[in-house]
Amino acid sequence: MGIFNGPEEQERKAKLKKLEDKRVAFALKLAAEGFAPERMLFAQTENGGFVSLSRFGGQHCLIISPGFGTDEDFILERYDALSWRMEEVHIKSEGMGGIFGFGKKAEIGVEYIITREDGSEVKMPFIGGRNGWLECKLSKNPLLRTQRRRGDANVVWDMIPLDSAGISGALKKAAEYFPEV
């Protein structure tokens, strides 16, 4: 068996296929409802999924994806008024700051915390060194495409990794999606 044919790789491919099946079904459902926001902001989450935010039909639309390899489904929630707060994140580096695999790199950024109707909270992180982000127009939206993506690609693969140099640009874009409180 080759390095790319082991049982772990087969399991990973099966999880990707299942996730892409869910995404296509969700995209078809949204297309049938006429859901087509001009712009959408995505932030990768720690569970391998993402949270996205857009404005459509006068409402704030929050989409929560399933984590990679979970049995969850995509969720769309619409809000007339978005309840949120922002928390800064500052984590110092440890050890050799992640050099040569020793220690941990420093992380700096912001988490937007959105309060859902049931009172639970969803974090939309923009943290350099931890996650990725993407803002896209409707024509380039990897979530809303109704065709299967080649090779069962994961939407988070399209996201731009956040680093200390790019964090300010990401936060400027994110500020456009969150109304003043």
| Banded pLDDT at 166 (limits 50, 70, 90) | confident
Of 178, 141, 159, 156, the residue nearest 66 (C-alpha): 156
pLDDT digits (tens, 9 = 90+) for 1-41: 556 678 888 899 999 999 999 999 999 999 999 999 999 99
Whether the per-residue pLDDT at 153 is higher than 70: the answer is: yes
Q: Pick 127 or 100 by higher pLDDT.
A: 127
pLDDT digits (tens, 9 = 90+) for 75-126: 999 999 999 999 999 877 776 655 665 656 678 899 999 999 999 999 999 9
pLDDT digits (tens, 9 = 90+) for 51-79: 999 999 999 999 999 998 899 999 999 99
